[in-house]
């Protein structure tokens, strides 16, 4: 590899089972010699599919996330991996429930409402573009 070879760095955020996040980086040669630094956002849901005050589970890059609409027109998202022992949480009327050990998380903040989990669900960045919920 020469000094003039530019590398493009892409970072993928993967939530860990103990509430930690692991950043994995992959390097590949760039065709243009410059780095764009941004990836196109991915549509993960339609706003109308998410109940106000509730949440839905969706897939993002092969991992399940939770997308919530705390108030009309506001969206937030979290990793669906329970911070206690890595089970997948399920949206329910009372919050985001872990079926393995009954931890309960707040749909609006990801905060622990009931243990044994002690750490909140890691946030996932989402934005709203009209009726489209975009991640990334």
Where does residue 62 rank: exposed (0-12), middle (13-18), buried (19+ CB within 10 A)? exposed
Burial class (CB in 10 A: 0-12, 13-18, 19+), 87: middle
Query: Is residue 63 included in any domain, yes or no?
Result: yes
Residue 105, domain CATH: 2.102.10.10
> Is 70 a member of any domain?
yes
Residue 28 lies in a domain: no
Q: Is residue 36 part of a domain?
A: no
Whole-angstrom distance, CA of residue 97 vs CA of residue 105: 7
Contacts of 31 (CB under 8 A, 6+ apart): none
Q: Is residue 25 part of a domain?
A: no
Place of tokens 């070879």: 5
Q: What does the pLDDT look like over 52-108, one tens digit per residue?
A: 999 999 999 999 999 999 999 999 999 999 999 999 999 999 999 999 999 999 999
| Structural domain range at position 73 | 42-135
Q: How many domains does the chain have?
A: 1
pTM of the model: 0.70
Is 15 contained in some domain? no
**Is residue 105 included in any domain, yes or no?**
yes
User: What residues contact 113, with CB distance under 8 A and at least 6 apart?
Assistant: 95, 104, 105, 106
Q: 34 or 105, which is more confident?
A: 105
Tell me how far the alpha carbon of residue 65 is from its chain's centroid: 5
Burial letters 2-11, b for 16+ CB under 10 A, else e: eeeeeebeee
Assigned domain for 12 exists: no
pLDDT reading at 27 higher than 80:
no
CB crowding 97-108: b at 16 or more within 10 Å, else e: bbeeeebbbbbb
- Torsion sign across C-alpha atoms 93, 98, 99, 102: negative
């Amino acid at each position: 590899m020469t000094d003039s070879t530019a590398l493009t760095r892409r970072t993928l955020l993967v939530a860990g089972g103990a509430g930690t996040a692991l950043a994995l980086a992959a390097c590949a040669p760039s065709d243009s010699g410059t780095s764009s630094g941004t990836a196109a956002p991915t549509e993960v849901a339609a706003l109308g599919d998410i109940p106000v005050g509730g949440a839905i589970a969706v897939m993002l890059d092969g991992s399940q996330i939770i997308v919530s609409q705390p108030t009309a027109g506001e969206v937030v998202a979290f990793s669906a991996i329970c911070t206690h022992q890595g089970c997948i949480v399920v949206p329910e009327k009372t919050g985001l429930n872990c079926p393995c050990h009954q931890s309960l998380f707040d749909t609006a903040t990801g905060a622990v409402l009931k243990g044994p989990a002690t750490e909140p669900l890691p946030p996932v960045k989402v934005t709203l573009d009209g009726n489209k919920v975009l991640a990334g």
